[in-house]
């Protein structure tokens, strides 16, 4: 149990109401307080039991009393919310409540209280009903998504929602959130170039801003890899992000990539193309895992021409000072994006997923990834993304390698 000043003996948050639950009903508040206190205690105690075993992937039959308490206490609070009906507290509050139901359902999945391959309908009937109602009202999938853990994870006196009190979960989330925000800064800068054009004097500033933001992403992700413990992440953090059923439908897990910014940067730079069916399929699949505002941003991006094409189309102006300065700055943005993509695949995925998976038996690999496909299939598709983002020289897929080289030569020749 967490012992700092935020908790009293019963793990309830002790904060003035106005700070914690402005504009919500007492039942919403009660569920939120449970999710932020007792729920975290129960998960942490269960994690301690799993970690104490020789084979820590064994979950079934361990801590059954704690699991029963988790299911029943959560269910009682959810039944009260269902009876209350939709009190329409606005997007932020409804989305937060969906996150709380999602945390409960994801924890039940992690502790194998539910298991989508074992069931055709989620046994969490009341939670499913509430999640479906909320999902339909906010316009997202009815499960918890990355925004619930990151950009919509409201902190109360410096503490945001987590599944456990274990330090590595907050290390992972702190860095993921800051890294996603830095990606958003890069996307915000790039999206402003299009209406002004690549030759506009202010475009240089925007490209420098985008490059700096991506350099921040890289620095954060490198630090994350240094601070995060591989075993803790693999066994105690990632299992909460698995797919689970809501009603009869199975929804894939939370994925750090579920923000528009990553794809905005890909497409605006011109390194990934909306005309590439493989890439567009990745984007299409993602839509409902984003908040509606993020969905709008992503849709918008697909309407713009890209910067690489814009520079190449003006190749006859390559000796102009603006072209040399702006194209050089653009190539630096691409280099930073490539460095982030390589570090993500080679270090974050390589060290934190691929390497620890190798010591597991085939049966234990089930559900190891957020999206659900077998690990080697997922790794191939992530490798392809890395190579598109870094404009790698590949002959089996179409990357912008030759065009980036052409732009480099134009800059070098001037």
Q: Give the closest residue to 225 by CA, choosing from 149, 172, 146.
A: 172
Supply the DSSP symbol for 159. Answer: B
Q: Give the closest residue to 276 by CA, choosing from 206, 381, 165.
A: 381
Report d(CA 49, CA 199) in Å as an integer. 61
Report d(CA 135, CA 157) in Å as an integer. 28
Write the binding mask 383 to 402 for ligand HEM: x where contact by CB under 6 A, - elsewhere.
--x-----------------
Q: Among the candidate windows 35-43, 46-54, 60-68, 367-375, which touches ligand HEM by CB under 6 A?
A: 367-375
Among 221, 264, 301, 390, binds ligand HEM (CB under 6 A): 221
Q: How far is the CB of 197 from ligand HEM (least distance, A)?
A: 28
Q: How far is the CB of 371 from ligand HEM (least distance, A)?
A: 3
Structure tokens at 184: 């958003």
Footprint of ligand HEM on 79-98 (CB under 6 A): none
Structure tokens at 1: 């149990």
Structure tokens at 131: 């999640």
Q: Give the closest residue to 331 by CA, choosing from 219, 198, 142, 217.
A: 198
Shorter beta-carbon distance to ligand HEM: residue 151 or 371: 371
**Distance between alpha carbon 388 and the CA centroid of its chain, in Å?**
20
Among 179, 203, 291, 306, binds ligand HEM (CB under 6 A): 179
Residue 92 in contact with residue 23, Cβ under 8 Å? no
Burial class of residue 131 (count of CB atoms within 10 Å of its CB; 0-12, 13-18, 19+): buried
Q: Among the candidate windows 63-71, 304-312, 323-331, 370-378, which touches ligand HEM by CB under 6 A?
A: 370-378
Q: Among the candidate windows 18-26, 83-91, 117-125, 363-371, which touches ligand HEM by CB under 6 A?
A: 363-371
Among 86, 176, 280, 357, binds ligand HEM (CB under 6 A): 176
For residue 344, state whether it binds ligand HEM (rule: CB under 6 A): yes
Shorter beta-carbon distance to ligand HEM: residue 21 or 110: 110
Q: How far is the CB of 293 from ligand HEM (least distance, A)?
A: 18
Shorter beta-carbon distance to ligand HEM: residue 32 or 169: 169
Footprint of ligand HEM on 241-280 (CB under 6 A): 255-257, 262
Q: Among the candidate windows 9-17, 20-28, 130-138, 364-372, which touches ligand HEM by CB under 6 A?
A: 364-372
Residue 295 neighbours by CB distance under 10 Å: 17
Q: Which residues contact 279 (CB under 8 A, 6 or more apart)?
A: 266, 272, 273, 388
Supply the DSSP symbol for 395. Answer: S
The residues that bridge with 246 in the sheet, in sequence order, are: 249
Q: Where are the beta strands (DSSP E) in 142-208?
A: none
Q: Is the dihedral of CA 225, 226, 230, 235 positive or negative?
A: negative
Residue 100 in contact with residue 92, Cβ under 8 Å? no
Report d(CA 81, CA 86) in Å as an integer. 8
Q: How far is the CB of 340 from ligand HEM (least distance, A)?
A: 8
The angle formed by the CA atoms of residues 203, 206 and 212, to the nearest 5 degrees, is: 145
For residue 11, state whether it binds ligand HEM (rule: CB under 6 A): no
Q: How far is the CB of 414 from ligand HEM (least distance, A)?
A: 34
Among 73, 371, 403, 408, binds ligand HEM (CB under 6 A): 371
Footprint of ligand HEM on 281-320 (CB under 6 A): 282
Among 271, 353, 391, 410, binds ligand HEM (CB under 6 A): 353
Q: How far is the CB of 244 from ligand HEM (least distance, A)?
A: 14
Among 46, 77, 134, 228, binds ligand HEM (CB under 6 A): 228
* Residues making contact with ligand HEM (CB under 6 A): 175-176, 179-180, 183, 221, 224, 228, 233, 255-257, 262, 282, 344, 348-349, 352-353, 369-371, 378, 382, 385
């Amino acid at each position: 149990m967490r012992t700092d000043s935020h908790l009293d003996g019963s793990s309830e948050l002790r904060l003035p109401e106005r700070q914690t639950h402005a504009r919500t009903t007492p039942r919403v508040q009660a569920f939120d307080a449970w999710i932020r206190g007792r729920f975290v205690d129960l998960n942490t105690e269960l994690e301690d039991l799993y970690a104490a075993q020789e084979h820590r992937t064994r979950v079934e039959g361990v801590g059954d009393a704690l699991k029963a308490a988790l299911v029943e206490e959560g269910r009682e609070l959810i039944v009260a919310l269902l009876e209350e009906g939709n009190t329409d507290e606005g997007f932020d509050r409804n989305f937060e409540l969906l996150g709380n139901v999602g945390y409960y359902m994801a924890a039940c999945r992690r502790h194998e209280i539910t298991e989508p391959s074992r069931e055709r309908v989620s046994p969490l009937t009341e939670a499913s009903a509430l999640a479906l109602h909320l999902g339909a009202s906010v316009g997202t999938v009815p499960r918890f998504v990355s925004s619930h853990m990151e950009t919509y994870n409201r902190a109360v006196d410096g503490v945001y929602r987590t599944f456990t009190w274990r330090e590595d979960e907050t290390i992972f989330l702190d860095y993921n959130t800051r890294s996603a925000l830095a990606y958003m800064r890069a996307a915000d800068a790039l999206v402003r170039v299009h209406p002004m054009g690549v030759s506009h004097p202010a475009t240089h500033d925007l490209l420098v801003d985008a490059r700096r933001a991506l350099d921040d992403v890289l620095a954060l992700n490198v630090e994350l890899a240094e601070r995060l413990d591989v075993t803790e992440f693999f066994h105690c953090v990632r299992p909460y992000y698995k797919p689970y059923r809501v009603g009869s439908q199975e929804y894939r897990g939370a994925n750090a990539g579920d923000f528009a910014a990553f794809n905005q940067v890909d497409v605006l730079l011109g390194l990934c193309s909306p005309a590439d069916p493989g890439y567009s399929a990745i984007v299409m699949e993602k839509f409902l895992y984003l908040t509606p505002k993020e969905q709008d941003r992503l849709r918008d991006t697909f309407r713009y021409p890209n910067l690489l094409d814009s520079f190449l189309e003006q190749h006859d102006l390559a000796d102009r000072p603006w072209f040399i300065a702006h194209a050089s700055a653009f190539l630096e943005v691409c280099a930073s994006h490539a460095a982030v993509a390589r570090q993500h695949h080679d270090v974050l995925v390589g060290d934190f997923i691929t390497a620890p998976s190798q010591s597991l038996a085939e049966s234990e690999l089930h559900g190891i990834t957020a999206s659900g496909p077998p690990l080697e299939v997922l790794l191939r598709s992530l490798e392809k993304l890395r190579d598109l983002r870094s404009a790698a020289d590949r002959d089996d897929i179409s990357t912008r390698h030759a065009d980036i080289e052409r732009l480099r030569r134009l800059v070098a020749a001037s």
